[in-house]
Amino acid sequence: MKPKRVAWVDSKREPKCPSNPAYPDGVDLDATAGQTPSCYVELPYPARRCGYFLVCCDDCHQSVVLTTAGRRDDPRSVKLLCIRRPN
């Protein structure tokens, strides 16, 4: 698989709610429902504050947005299902 591009977009807002204590070390997101092929992307953790990550795959051209709040329960990784189409 080709590299994934990750950009964080700052919403310029500070979090207003406390983080979820069930995730003191961040959240590993899995959007594959157990299917393959998939890819794993580590995210810059923790995010500075409220905003979102834009993750783009250079292989299958999928783009996803993951929101952040600048808290300990922000996403630290994501596993995505590849959406390559057969030729």
Long-range contacts of 17-23 (CB under 8 A, 24+ apart): 17/69, 17/71, 18/71, 19/69, 19/71, 19/72, 19/73, 20/73, 22/73, 23/72, 23/73
pTM: 0.85
Q: For residue 24, what are its two tokens?
A: 């003191």
Instruction: Specify the pLDDT at position 47.
Output: 93
Sheet with 63-69, edge to edge strand ranges: 4-13, 50-57, 63-69
Per-residue confidence band for 60, with pLDDT thresholds at 50, 70 and 90: confident
DSSP classification of residue 15: -
In tens, the pLDDT along 16-44 reads: 999 999 999 999 999 999 998 888 999 99
